């Protein structure tokens, strides 16, 4: 059974004081020990994690009015109701000739006299008589007495020596009512043009502008602080040293957050030192609605994050039955009393502590964090761009965990969509995320995938 798609359903979650407790206990495998501070000793399935994270998604309430040019990717805070019909009048969908379609007769040509020209932005002052038509441009108001437009290329024009012009319309070239846009066929007066919670895409901006509206009410930007943890992490510009790696997670997290339209707050790289981690978490909780960290959530002796979070806030630690991205923590951290924030909806900061391996961090963000942040931003619906493709190669998979393998989608000559992996699937191979088109989702209960089996692919286009 495939895990539920967290992007596809609306939700208005409650705001409990902590992440809900896990469901009934399960037997542990032989030799499996519970991680310190973990909610339970077993790996939780992906759908169970989605259920817990849904309780964290309390939408912001602050609203501001912004100009259309500043509204791209913001989330609409109020329904926009059309104050007018769009288009406001019947108009031509083609360059051609407007006439009364009742004059058409099956199997017979029709000859009409051209009585003038009507341009877009202008209205013909008279009324067409029998046997007449008007040359009309795309978007021009349909003249009184006309309900049909024959495209210019489908008509045969004749000009007499005295300058009069006639048009022959061949049989079957057009039907009554063709190529006429009716008033209000896009939007009727009083109809909801955009619903509260809609993401303002380029098309949405154009729709708002078509209503004559120069500004739009949007929810305030969600503030998201992020930082990396680990003594082995080097910031850019720092000389390389033995045993260290340059920080990549901060930059992928920045890109993921910026693409969502939030206000990213970079707090840098934090060493594995309890006082430094505590200071970073307190600063983040004071400045942001949500905090995203990478590293420091495994059971390693130097992983201080879980100890601090247990002390600072209401946080649970999970081992997720997924690959990549098994360790994760989430919960709330109270804002410090000194936080200088006048926002009426400021509450505890929501924390997501992700794995440190680059691919694991990105996958955990896309699968778990992104849908929660969308809902915190007030967005009502955020479907993941997904498609079905046939496996182009055998995919190794064992039941009992959800796997997200990096895949490349291609099309066969017959139109069949297929997907192959990028090769080795190690959680530290960030180059595989660059090469991939998306994530091949192998559900919790499934086993190995054979060549030709259908699989779901979550496309990066629209996610990254």
Structure confidence at residue 299 (pLDDT): 58
Structure confidence at residue 295 (pLDDT): 86
Structure confidence at residue 298 (pLDDT): 64
Structure confidence at residue 303 (pLDDT): 59
Across 271-426, where does the E strand assignment appear?
290-294, 314-319, 322-323, 327-333, 349-354, 386-391, 402-411, 417-421
Cα(442)–Cα(444) distance, integer angstroms: 7
**Residue range(s) of every CATH 2.170.190.11 domain in the chain:** 91-181
Structure confidence at residue 386 (pLDDT): 87
Q: What percent of the chain has pLDDT over 70?
A: 86
Span 91-117, mean pLDDT? 93
Judged by average pLDDT, the poorest of 191-195, 273-277, 304-308, 416-420 is 304-308
Question: Would you place residue 126 in the very low, low, confident or very high pLDDT band (cuts 50, 70, 90)?
Answer: confident
**Residue range(s) of every CATH 3.40.980.10 domain in the chain:** 46-62+220-376
Structure confidence at residue 372 (pLDDT): 94
Q: Are 321 and 45 in contact (CB under 8 A)?
A: yes
Structure confidence at residue 335 (pLDDT): 84
Q: What's the pLDDT tens digit per position in 279-296?
A: 999 999 999 999 999 987
- Of 439, 339, 333, which Cα lies nearest the Cα of 389? 439
Q: What's the pLDDT tens digit per position in 224-257?
A: 999 998 877 777 777 888 777 878 899 999 999 9
Strand partners of residue 351 = 291, 331
> Reduced to 3 states, what is the DSSP secondary structure of residue 22?
coil
Cα(317)–Cα(330) distance, integer angstroms: 7
CB atoms within 10 A of CB 279: 13
Residue 333 Cα distances to 157, 220, 322, 347, 351, angstroms = 76, 21, 26, 9, 7
Give the range with max mean pLDDT: 54-58, 68-72, 105-109, 119-123.
Answer: 68-72
Q: What's the pLDDT tens digit per position in 153-187?
A: 999 999 888 888 999 999 999 999 999 999 999 88
The domain covering 66-86+185-218 belongs, at the CATH homologous superfamily level, to Molybdopterin biosynthesis moea protein, domain 2 (3.90.105.10)
Residue 40 — φ and ψ, nearest 5°? Answer: -160, 170
Q: Does 2.40.340.10 match the CATH number of domain 386-459?
A: yes
Q: Residue 206: which H helix or E strand, with range?
A: helix 202-210
Q: Is 205 exposed, middle or buried (0-12, 13-18, 19+ CB in 10 A)?
A: middle
Strand partners of residue 330 = 316, 352
Measured distance between the N- and C-terminal CA atoms of the chain, rounded to whole angstroms = 26
Span 43-53, mean pLDDT? 91
Structure confidence at residue 37 (pLDDT): 36
Q: What's the pLDDT tens digit per position in 303-331?
A: 566 677 778 888 888 889 999 988 888 99
Question: Would you place residue 12 in the very low, low, confident or very high pLDDT band (cuts 50, 70, 90)?
Answer: very low
Q: Are 464 and 362 in contact (CB under 8 A)?
A: no
Q: The pTM is what?
A: 0.80
Question: Would you place residue 432 in the very low, low, confident or very high pLDDT band (cuts 50, 70, 90)?
Answer: confident
Q: Does 3.30.420.40 match the CATH number of domain 46-62+220-376?
A: no
Cα(19)–Cα(166) distance, integer angstroms: 77
- Identify the sign of the CA torsion 398, 399, 403, 408: positive
Structure confidence at residue 347 (pLDDT): 81
* H helix runs in 211-266, sequence order: 249-260
The residue among 22 and 440 whose pLDDT is bigger is 440
Q: Is 244 exposed, middle or buried (0-12, 13-18, 19+ CB in 10 A)?
A: middle
CATH architecture of the domain with residue range 91-181:
Beta Complex (2.170)
Is the pLDDT at 9 greater than 50? The verdict is: no
Question: Interior CA angle at 325 toward 426 and 5, to 5°?
Answer: 115
Question: Would you place residue 11 in the very low, low, confident or very high pLDDT band (cuts 50, 70, 90)?
Answer: very low
**Residue range(s) of every CATH 2.40.340.10 domain in the chain:** 386-459
Structure confidence at residue 24 (pLDDT): 32
Q: What's the pLDDT tens digit per position in 197-227?
A: 999 999 999 999 999 999 999 999 999 999 9
């Amino acid at each position: 059974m495939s895990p539920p798609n967290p992007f596809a359903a609306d939700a208005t979650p409650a705001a409990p004081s902590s992440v809900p407790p896990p469901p009934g206990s399960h037997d542990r495998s032989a030799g499996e020990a519970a991680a310190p501070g973990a909610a339970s000793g077993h790996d939780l399935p992906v759908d169970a994690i989605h259920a817990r994270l849904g309780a964290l998604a309390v939408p912001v309430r602050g609203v501001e009015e912004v100009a259309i040019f500043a509204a791209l990717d913001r989330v609409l805070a109020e329904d926009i109701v059309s104050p007018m019909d769009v288009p406001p009048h019947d108009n031509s969908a083609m360059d051609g000739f407007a006439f009364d379609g009742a004059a058409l007769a099956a199997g017979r040509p029709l000859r009409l006299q051209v009585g003038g020209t009507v341009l877009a932005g202008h209205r013909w002052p008279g009324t067409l008589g029998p046997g007449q038509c008007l040359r009309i441009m795309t978007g021009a108001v349909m003249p009184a007495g006309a309900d049909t437009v024959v495209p210019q290329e489908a008509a045969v024009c004749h000009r007499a020596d005295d300058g009069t012009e006639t048009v022959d319309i061949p049989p079957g070239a057009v039907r009554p009512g063709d190529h006429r846009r009716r008033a209000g066929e896009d939007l009727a007066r009083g109809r909801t043009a955009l619903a509260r919670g809609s993401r303002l895409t380029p098309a949405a901006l154009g729709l708002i502008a078509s209503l004559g509206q120069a500004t739009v009410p949007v929810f305030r930007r969600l503030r998201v602080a992020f930082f990396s943890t680990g003594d082995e992490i080097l910031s850019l510009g720092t000389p390389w040293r033995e045993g260290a790696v340059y920080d990549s997670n901060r930059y992928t997290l920045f890109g993921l957050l910026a693409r969502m339209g939030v206000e990213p707050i970079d707090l840098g790289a934090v060493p594995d030192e309890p006082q430094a981690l505590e200071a970073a978490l307190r600063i983040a909780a004071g400045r942001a609605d949500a905090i995203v960290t990478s590293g420091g959530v495994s059971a390693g002796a130097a992983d201080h994050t879980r100890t601090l979070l247990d002390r600072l806030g209401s946080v649970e630690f999970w081992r997720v039955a997924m690959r990549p991205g098994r360790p994760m923590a989430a919960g709330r951290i109270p804002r410090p009393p000194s936080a200088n924030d006048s926002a009426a909806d400021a509450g505890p900061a929501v924390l997501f502590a992700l794995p440190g391996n680059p691919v694991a961090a990105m996958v955990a963000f896309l699968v778990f964090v992104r849908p929660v942040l969308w809902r915190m931003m007030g967005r009502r619906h955020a479907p993941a761009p997904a498609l079905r493709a046939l496996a182009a190669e055998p995919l190794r998979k064992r039941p009992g965990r959800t796997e997200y393998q990096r895949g490349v989608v291609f099309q066969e000559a017959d139109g069949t969509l297929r997907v192959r992996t990028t090769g080795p699937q190690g959680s530290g191979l960030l180059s595989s995320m660059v090469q991939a088109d998306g994530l091949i989702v192998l559900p919790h209960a499934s086993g190995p995938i054979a060549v030709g089996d259908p699989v779901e692919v979550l496309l990066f286009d629209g996610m990254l």
